Structure 1
């Protein structure tokens, strides 16, 4: 039986057109596709319906309300389609993939994010291959999770990161193997695909105001600077540290600042600044000092996935202690246990 795919065009480079201020989101994406793809090629693709969001956005402008719109859109059409494609800007695609994976847990159908580095209106666009590949993956019923398809790679959405602004190989998943590859043949690594163990669990709550801030250690950082940052009205902070989760253990004032914040109910999660690797706060004394200050290790989760996981859990009304207990639990394949 032929598959039917729902395509949500949210904006992003793939549909952009030139303007006086540079590329800007453009409408009538279906018209562009029909210009670029011959009728016989279009007919060979999985059947799809394309819905163009009324307010198209450059993904640099993404906000939590957009995540709620995307996930609610898919949930409302879930029974009517066999798979879903979300066309999205590349700059924050890893965030949106991650949030969608938490809001639409235990999917039994594929949700594939994609986009392009060069708009469809240009001769050298990568948008056609990405669009066709995403449609192909969205018609594969072996996939039951949120993925990102780009330049022939199929990645788990909440493991993906944008690592290059200039190459077609824009995305990778540094701490998890690719789920598949589209070359002459489409190959999936079925052993790595997420296997839901329960029925669909859609939790569409998504606070409009973010609960999470992101901080990064740098040489010479001061306790005064950190105290000012931690006083911002956030429930949780991601602290991007050195190596396997290390920080300046010789700065007692800074450690006291962390300890004061965590004692006052702020959740601080330790993630490495490195592209690959996991946080082990006990490997070095510099990491153990952070643990004693109440900072919690985030293992090998990406910054994007942890940001969205924390926002999701707080949006559900969980307390900081409840959220802390969920950090080492894999909700949608976002962390290695």
Structure 2
């Protein structure tokens, strides 16, 4: 007997309803979904399917999350809900708000290393509760993806685009095509047919998270920060951040190919002192496309000298999640530096 798909509703626009204060998360998504599925779909909880849709079950995460309020600890709740049910379902859909969807998709890709089933992260720009919405199409496409045996990784499915989860970024707040993968090809596309590029897909792995002694990483919300370089940034601003108690990793969003404002008095010295205190410094480019090539210019070579790690073409979301997960697993120093420069789940070249 084919196992069903689990839809995990974590919150977000897709399940929101209107209120006097604007759209808010709300229970009852199950009934709203059944009301909009094809008319011949069964209304029975165990038979929510038509001749074209796979059987699914829906679980609400408690409490639901407005994704703009997401914190790293929420990744623990979402991952635990999936891992504890891994053997019972053939695939998984995570319904999530769009604002932090790329962060969660990235985090899940690292937590669920060795994935051997589809984990499809989706949502919508317009709630399912509205007459005109993009929610139903995103969800139906995700259901069809979640039953595929050739998909064994975390993906974002949105507006017909099928993207590697840790390569995805939200690129629009107003268009239905809200997500793209600027530094990596789409894994597939849902047009008249759903097509996947088999040569880009990760192979099925060995889900180590099913081991009896597997421990989900604990996430310290103070451990990782992101610093955007901008014209005129002062060393005192950088110092205030790097001296924050609890900070263990700092992502630098630098210019172009990885260049800092080296001439800013005291800035490089401040970063060097942070590295000497054991803070891991990871350098990414502010550009949507391209990778860090630390050392192409003299300013970037300065970062090499003080021990800043070049972040290749990682997205900021993937870097943030990767640092959290690796640190949560207890990695530090040279072990952390080495792991950051490896592609663990297809997140970088």
Does structure 1 residue 133 correspond to structure 2 residue 146? no
In structure 1, the gaps of 5 or more residues are none
From 221, 227, 231, the equivalent of 1:219 is 231
Does structure 1 residue 157 correspond to structure 2 residue 165? yes
In 2, Cα distance between the equivalents of 1:38 and 1:297?
49
> Does the aligned pair in 2 maintain the 1:161–1:171 contact within 8 Å?
yes
> Does the aligned pair in 1 maintain the 2:233–2:264 contact within 8 Å?
no
Give the secondary structure class of the aligned counterpart of 1:149.
strand
* C-alpha deviation, 1:113, in angstroms: 0.3
From 258, 269, 285, the equivalent of 1:256 is 269
In 1, Cα distance between the equivalents of 2:278 and 2:63?
38
* C-alpha deviation, 1:293, in angstroms: 2.4
In 1, Cα distance between the equivalents of 2:318 and 2:29?
29
In 2, Cα distance between the equivalents of 1:272 and 1:208?
25
From 215, 226, 230, the equivalent of 2:242 is 230
Q: For residue 283 of structure 1, what is the aligned residue in structure 2?
A: 296
In 2, Cα distance between the equivalents of 1:72 and 1:57?
15
Q: For residue 37 of structure 2, what is the aligned residue in structure 1?
A: 37
Does structure 1 residue 20 correspond to structure 2 residue 23? no
Q: Aligned residues, how many?
A: 335
Does structure 1 residue 307 correspond to structure 2 residue 315? no
Q: For residue 175 of structure 1, what is the aligned residue in structure 2?
A: 183
Does structure 1 residue 110 correspond to structure 2 residue 118? yes
In 1, Cα distance between the equivalents of 2:220 and 2:232?
34
In 1, Cα distance between the equivalents of 2:11 and 2:21?
17
Residues 243-279 of structure 1, C-alpha deviation per residue, up to 9 Å, x if partnerless?
0101122235211111111112111110011111100
Q: For residue 309 of structure 2, what is the aligned residue in structure 1?
A: 296
Q: For residue 52 of structure 1, what is the aligned residue in structure 2?
A: 60
> Does the aligned pair in 2 maintain the 1:83–1:139 contact within 8 Å?
yes
Equivalent positions of 1:264-283 (< 5 A) are 264-283=277-296
In 1, Cα distance between the equivalents of 2:300 and 2:208?
36
Give the secondary structure class of the aligned counterpart of 1:73.
helix
Residues 101-123 of structure 1, C-alpha deviation per residue, up to 9 Å, x if partnerless?
11111111000000000001111
Q: For residue 219 of structure 2, what is the aligned residue in structure 1?
A: 207
- Residues 127, 212 of structure 1: alpha-carbon distance in 2 compared, 3 angstrom cutoff: same
Give the secondary structure class of the aligned counterpart of 2:14.
helix
Residues 55-88 of structure 1, C-alpha deviation per residue, up to 9 Å, x if partnerless?
1111111112211111111111111110000000
Runs of 4+ residues deviating >4 angstroms = none
User: TM-score, length-normalised on structure 1?
Assistant: 0.96
Q: For residue 321 of structure 1, what is the aligned residue in structure 2?
A: 334
> Does the aligned pair in 2 maintain the 1:180–1:187 contact within 8 Å?
yes
Give the RMSD, CA atoms, in angstroms: 1.3
- Residues 208, 246 of structure 1: alpha-carbon distance in 2 compared, 3 angstrom cutoff: closer
* C-alpha deviation, 1:318, in angstroms: 1.5
Q: For residue 132 of structure 2, what is the aligned residue in structure 1?
A: 124
- Residues 154, 315 of structure 1: alpha-carbon distance in 2 compared, 3 angstrom cutoff: same
Give the secondary structure class of the aligned counterpart of 1:39.
coil
In 1, Cα distance between the equivalents of 2:84 and 2:190?
30
In 2, Cα distance between the equivalents of 1:215 and 1:287?
16
* C-alpha deviation, 1:143, in angstroms: 0.4
* C-alpha deviation, 1:210, in angstroms: 4.1
User: TM-score, length-normalised on structure 2?
Assistant: 0.93
* C-alpha deviation, 1:286, in angstroms: 1.6
From 63, 83, 87, the equivalent of 2:91 is 83
